[in-house]
With several copies, the nearest count.
Chain A
């Protein structure tokens, strides 16, 4: 699966995208990300799986596209 980072989060992780298949649920992935990028913990963001916002601990599949999105400031 692909993990995409946007806005300020991209500056925290230093990456636009990482690829991984080791995590089966959203919480597992988040624990990994919080450990790897400590500063992420201070940020508020929401998560989209395959371009849909999710707010449950969904299962993750190999070809999923997961995106960490800071609060929106478009328009």
Chain B
């Protein structure tokens, strides 16, 4: 798989990106989304629980296609030189990288437009889901945000 990975996104991987030589790229931007140690208030329980890790699940085949189409679209829409996207699947601990997007471009304005476009589209369109594992061992699916127009009603 080109974009999804169940292996840790390591500093070595990021170094490899940093080592890329591109004399025409005046701007290099990298975004990493990490698992946050969010506090979770459970009604009924006295203490506070925290997110310990997140399990990411994807509809792999569709997710790879969607990310590919977003990257291709961004390459045409913005004048950028290279786009790199990695999204974790499987178990990701607090502080670990779950999502990475990097953009090389001649100038920074296109780079920032492209990278924000890509991140927003992926979060909205790519079939990936988060299951939070809490410090008390409980698990809960993160409520998703994007709904198509007519989700599950009986269609006309």
Please give the residue numbers on chain A whose beta carbons come within 8 Å of chain B beta carbons, in ascending order: 4, 6-8, 26-27, 30-31, 40, 43-48, 51, 53, 55-57, 67, 69-75
Which chain B residue has the least Cβ–Cβ distance from A30?
B154
| Nearest CB of chain A from residue B74's CB, rounded to whole Å | 15
Task: Name 8 extra pairs, CB < 8 A, besides A7-B129, A55-B155, A74-B127.
Answer: A26-B155, A45-B151, A45-B152, A51-B61, A51-B62, A55-B148, A55-B149, A74-B58
A-B CB contact pairs (8 Å), 28 listed: A6-B57, A6-B129, A7-B129, A7-B131, A8-B141, A27-B154, A43-B152, A51-B59, A51-B61, A55-B148, A56-B156, A57-B156, A67-B127, A69-B59, A70-B141, A71-B145, A71-B147, A71-B151, A72-B125, A72-B145, A73-B128, A73-B143, A74-B63, A74-B123, A74-B127, A74-B128, A75-B99, A75-B119
